[in-house]
Every structure is written in C-alpha cells, then in structure tokens.
Amino acid sequence: LPEVSRPGDMRAFTVIAAALLCSLAAGRPTVRNVKTGAEWRKLLKHHAEVTGLPVIVDFYSDGCGPCRMIAPHFKKLAEEYKDRAVFAKVDVNYNHEVSREQMIRSMPTFQMYLFGKKRDQFSGADLNRIQAKVQELVRESKTKNVEVTLDAFKTYYQEVAPEKVDDDKLQQLLDRNGKGGGPGHYALVQALQKKYGKGPKTQPRTIAEHPHHDKPGASAKGTSGGPGPKESNCKDVAATEPNLHLATIAQLEKELQLRREAEEEREFEAAEDGDDDDDETHAFDLYNASTAPPVEQVAIVGAGPAGLAAAIYAARAGLHPVVIAPPMGGQLQGKGVTVENYPGVNDTTGPDIVYDMQRQASEFGTIFEQDLVMSVDVTSRPFVLKVRKRVSA
C-alpha cells in the first residue's frame, strides 16, 4: 500500500464511521435484564465513561415475595427517571456469575452506581430508601456531568493566565480529566475556581453515540478538498465505496479496531433494546381456567417446602397437581436471607430453595395458581376450593 497521508484520503474511513453511527439505536428499555457477566461489565463501563448516568440495580429472585412486591414500584421509578438514570435487574438464579461476584446473600438487594463507583448497597424492599437514593444520585449526576469545551477553556485562560494559552496543552489537560467531560471536568473547574477565584464556563456533557467516533454530523473533507458527506444521510453513506487502496496499513488497522468497537457497541445497544422488563412473564406454568379440566385430581394449598414436596411426589405419580398459593410466599420464601438451619443446605437463601423446588415440581407437570384460598368445602365431592378471584375445584 502506498504511504498516503493527505487529509482527504481518510474520507472513506470517515464515511465508514458515519455509517456505523447511523446504525446505533438510542433506545433504552425501562428496566434492563442483565443476563451475563459481560453485559454487567459493559453496562457499568458504558454509563461510567459515556453517559455519566446513575445505574440502579435490583438483584432479585422469582421465588422471592418481597422481590415481586417491589418490582412494579421499581419499574415505575425507572419510568419516572427515564433518561436521567438507568435501571437494571439481575436474576440471582440465572446470572450466577454476577450474583457471586457481588456476594449477594439476600433478596432483594439493591446497588447504586455513579461514574463507575458503587455508592450504596442494601437489602430489603425499602421503597423510600430507594427513592431517596435515586433522587440524590440523579441530582449529583446532573451537577457533575458537565463538559468544558476547548473554546471555553481558551477564553478562560486568556482572562486569568494568558501566558499559559496553548491549544495542545489545554486540550491535553482537558483529556487528562476525562475525554468528553464528566466528573473530572467538574473537579477541574472546582480546582481552578479555588486557584483563580473563578472557573471556566461549563455545559451539560455531550453524550456521544460511541466514544471513539466523531459525533454524527461532523463534516469530512473529500479528496478534492470539497465538503464531505452530509450529516444523518445513511443511504448516501452506505452507497459510498471506500478507497481502501489509498490507506496506509496503520490507517487500516486503526479503522478495523474502531469497527470492532462499534460492533461491540451495537451488540450492547441491541441487548438493551431487546431486554425490557416484563412483569407478566412467569417461570412456571400457571393455572388457566379455560383449558383446565372440570375437576382437578389433586389441589395443594400452600407453596412452602411441605406443599412443594407434596407437589413433586404427586406430579411424579402423574396426578398433575395444582398448587394454590399467593405469589409473595411464606416465611422461607419471604425472608430472602441465607438459610443456616435447613438440613443439607449450605450458602443459599430461602427464595433459592423455594425456586428450585418450584422448578422441580413444574418439570414433572405441576401447575401453579397464584391466588389465596378463602375457604374449602369438604361436605360434598368433589371438594370445592374458593379462591379470591375464582373457584378451583
């Protein structure tokens, strides 16, 4: 490849970068379901380095009563603080890597992050504490998530120390405190204000679609020195063929790395778009009156260890039992703390034990009715169980 270094020769690569940016979606779900350790690390890094938004995480279990009770309130908070904070959830029964790494011992457990640092962690469905902490972190994020532009920095130094005005050195100083802004720029402003009695002007941090590319709409000069591609014209960008033969090996390697990073970013954004919270999904088969037989062979009242053990035995015998119990569960399921007095069980929680028993019963054909039994009539056959919403026979 020839050694070509004219500015116009990078036009094709700017076009490629613009095409990649056109494909990055800005949508973010209400509550993101973090399924892997890689997603977890990407989530924290992205919002620490790119957006500066607080990250609020709910470690939960499907079998945990308090988890189910707090879930709709958590989602409502996420809707209230949309675009000001990021809400995520981790299923401790599914994402073992992250739950072990974070040493989660009880559910629900909430963690709060800002600028990549854990700011708080507590267990229990304490909605008031969650609301107070979210409000505090959002306020801090808004205050510190600022940017000092090079022009504002130059104007400031021309006023307070004109002998130090040097574009390269000023840009290096800004970059050392965080490229694109953030808490580093806020700290720099505070230090300069203390030193000179005033600080440079700031603006809200510009959140780029990808931290390694120019912002969409940035112009690029062509090989003839004319204007580059117009902003946000994805069709024109995609139709432009790159002049790869004009690039140096170093330029090609650099662009290849940028494209790899852009691909990772696309996968991250796609995962966010596709993993919205859905409180209506269930891990086990639920009772459906329209498809159920007129009379059930076995109905089990209660979904504690005794009830679920009975369900497992009945299901294995082919009796297709129906377990009737409210979703919040009883003592073992509701506590969400590490169980120390259950025979043969070590280093696990009540919701985990109940969840495993529910899963085992479900695999053999048990159906679950998430309701409260109000009365049982055993004076005639078949027995009639009245629940809060409907009758199960």
Active site residues: 64, 67
Q: Which of 94, 129, 84 is nearest to 111 (CA)?
A: 129
d(CA 325, CA 366): 13
SS3 assignment, position 288 = coil
d(CA 4, CA 89): 50
Neighbours of 44 (CB within 10 A): 19
d(CA 51, CA 115): 9
Q: Please, is 100 exposed, middle or buried when counting C-beta atoms within 10 Å of its C-beta (0-12, 13-18, 19+)? A: exposed
Residue type at 274?
Answer: G
Q: Which residues 6+ apart lie within 8 Å of 198 measured at CB?
A: 160, 192
d(CA 312, CA 314): 6
d(CA 189, CA 198): 8
State both tokens at 179: 């490229």
d(CA 286, CA 324): 10
The Cβ-side half-sphere exposure at 259, using a 13 Å CA radius, reads 11
- Supply the Cα-derived Rg of the chain in whole angstroms: 29
d(CA 112, CA 121): 6
Cross-strand partners of 387: 373
Q: Which residue has the tokens 């469905």?
A: 125
d(CA 109, CA 363): 28
Q: Please, is 69 exposed, middle or buried when counting C-beta atoms within 10 Å of its C-beta (0-12, 13-18, 19+)? A: middle
Cross-strand partners of 90: 59
Q: Which residues 6+ apart lie within 8 Å of 80 measured at CB?
A: none
